[in-house]
Amino acid sequence: MSKLRVAVLGARGRMGSEAVRAVGAADDLELVAELGRGDRLETLTETGAQVAIDLTHPDAVMDNLEFCVRHGIHGVVGTTGFTGERLDLLRTWLAGSPGTGVLIAPNFGIGAVLTMHFAQQAARFFESVEVVELHHPHKADAPSGTAVRTAQLIARARADAKLPAQPDATSTALEGARGADVDGVPVHAVRLRGLVAHQEVLFGDEGEIFTLRHDSMNRGSFMPGVLLGVRRVTGTPGLTLGLEHFMDLDG
């Protein structure tokens, strides 16, 4: 059977270099292009790439995706910075390229995806919830894409359960002291030398605290998820938001 032809964008970065290694070591995949900042996107078509893995920067990812979708190249995207407007734009590009699939994965870590899944399940049982994400100090965005997605999923579950706003008597605070408000869920971002990527979801109710925590100890931890995305995206046209859709979690 012929191998799936895969390109990595952001190939010299922390995640991209790890993805280059992982694709190179996979028997069913062929690494056909390694692109860095300033490299020509036409290399993707010239090398016959079928799937492009984007691990670049929020400022670069949309141009990369527009090129890929226009040329029928499937996308597996770990880069952060996806607003509702960006997702809508991506959907219009995909509508013009039937058969092409793009996976946007806020987090490729299997445990991180499970944390989001379990947080969504727990949300309706607790009066209070706050998200704390902790990352290395080189990270460009705050809060993390994973934390934003986690908070959005929790907020949706709370709304579906018709829970009221959380109790919070704060009437005076230093700016930022209560974190960022993501759909009513406070999200706090820590940047600390020595960390890689970590998240806690704290649930509270009368007399009990329930904590979900996930730790990525190195970037190799994201690679099984990246490879799963690459293998599944070619058979999944349109936009897929979240790796959980490729994990058969309800099965």
Ligand X SMILES: NC(=O)C1=CN([C@@H]2O[C@H](COP(=O)(O)OP(=O)(O)OC[C@H]3O[C@@H](n4cnc5c(N)ncnc54)[C@H](O)[C@@H]3O)[C@@H](O)[C@H]2O)C=CC1
Q: Which residues are catalytic?
A: 135, 139
Q: Which residue in 5, 30, 47, 60 binds ligand X (CB under 6 A)? A: 60
Which residue, 101 or 145, is less far from ligand LZUJQKHR as judged by CB?
A: 145
Answer for which of 75, 78, 186, 229 binds ligand X (CB under 6 A) is 78
User: How many CB atoms sit inside 10 A of residue 84's CB?
Assistant: 8
Is 14 a binder of ligand X (CB under 6 A)? yes
Is the Cβ of residue 9 or residue 20 nearer to ligand X in the bound state?
Answer: 9
| Strand, coil or helix: 117 | helix
Contact range with ligand X by CB under 6 A, out of 9-17, 124-132, 167-175, 231-239: 9-17
Residues 198-237 touching ligand LZUJQKHR, rule: CB under 6 A, are none
CA–CA separation, 104 and 112 (whole Å): 15
78-97: contacts with ligand LZUJQKHR (CB under 6 A): 80
Q: Report the DSSP beta bridge partners of residue 133.
A: 189, 199
Beta partners for residue 113, in sequence order: none
79 binds, among ligand LZUJQKHR, ligand X, none (CB under 5 to 8 A by kind): ligand X
Binding test (CB under 6 A) with ligand LZUJQKHR, winner from 50, 115, 120, 146: 146
> How big, in percent rounded to 5, are the helix, strand and coil portions of the chain?
35, 25, 40
Alpha carbons 205 and 25: distance in angstroms, whole number: 47
Q: Which of 85, 116, 66 is nearest to 225 (CA)?
A: 116
The window from 56-64, 116-124, 158-166, 234-242 that contacts ligand X (CB under 6 A) reads 56-64
Q: What residues numbered 28-67 form the site for ligand LZUJQKHR, per CB under 6 A? A: none
Over the range 18-41, which residues count as b (16 or more CB within 10 Å of their CB) and which as e?
A: bbbebbeebeebbbbbbbeeeeeb
Q: Which residues of this protein are in contact with ligand X, per CB under 6 A?
A: 9-10, 12-16, 35-37, 55-58, 60, 78-80, 105-109, 222
